[in-house]
Amino acid sequence: MTARRQKANRSLQLVLLSDTHEQHAEVEVPPGDILIHAGDMSMMSRNLRSIIDFNNWLGELPHRCRIVVPGNHDYWLESDPSRRSLLSNATVLIDEAIDIEGLRVCGSPVTPLYGGAFGRSSSEDRSRLYSQIPDGTDILITHGPPYGILDASYGSDYHQGDPVLLEAVVRLRPKLHVFGHVHLDRRSPRIVESEHTTFVNAALLGPEGAIDKPPIVMKIGHR
């Protein structure tokens, strides 16, 4: 086997989604190696029955690794961190990192949204938090987008992203940055690339409140 073929074989298929808002059963999930959900599995809910249903749904998926980062709607988990055990069919990341399948993956649910779950309105607080993201992070998962990148609805000039997060991403240069939070129109691009990082807005819910986009599938090389 040639070195080129060996390198090609060292890739993983990622399935990326976010913002399912208790409509996960309506999603057709493609197969892959790693599934990443970037938050808002619930709809401003503290109803644990919906979370148990979400966990059961995760358990039926074929992906050998499933990673979940909460979002600003997921109050049920912010109010009681021990409830992360309810998501027994996934690895939950709340401002922490793991090495998995030869990749360093870091996840944070924090947004600048005051009053939302995991919201931190202080830019200084967010800067201190993001400074703890380890160097060498391959995949960064945040619920919210960085400022100016896939953070505005179609035809809108209002950017909902976080400038502090953008600074961290520019510094860290992850291969992939996955997020959601902003429910893009189907006409909007969902992937953009910079010199060092591929950015993905994986939110599935559209502006009308229904699932209107499929998960994003992509490959990533690993060590």
pLDDT digits (tens, 9 = 90+) for 197-213: 999 999 999 988 899 99
Domains along the sequence of the chain with CATH: 3-221 (3.60.21.10)
- pLDDT in the model for residue 2: 35
Residue 3 has pLDDT above 50, yes or no: no
Tokens of 40: 């808002």
Query: Does the model's pTM come out above 0.75?
Result: yes
| Beta carbons of 123 and 138 less than 8 angstroms apart | no
Question: How confident is the model over 82-101, as a mean pLDDT?
Answer: 96
**5: pLDDT confidence band, cut at 50, 70 and 90?**
very low
With a cut of 60, say whether residue 170 has pLDDT above it: yes
Q: Is the pLDDT reported for residue 112 higher than 50?
A: yes
Q: What is the pLDDT of residue 222?
A: 77
Please check the confidence at residue 21 and state whether its pLDDT lies above 70. yes
Q: What pLDDT, on a 0 to 100 scale, did the predictor assign at position 183?
A: 94
- CA–CA separation, 39 vs 18, rounded Å? 5
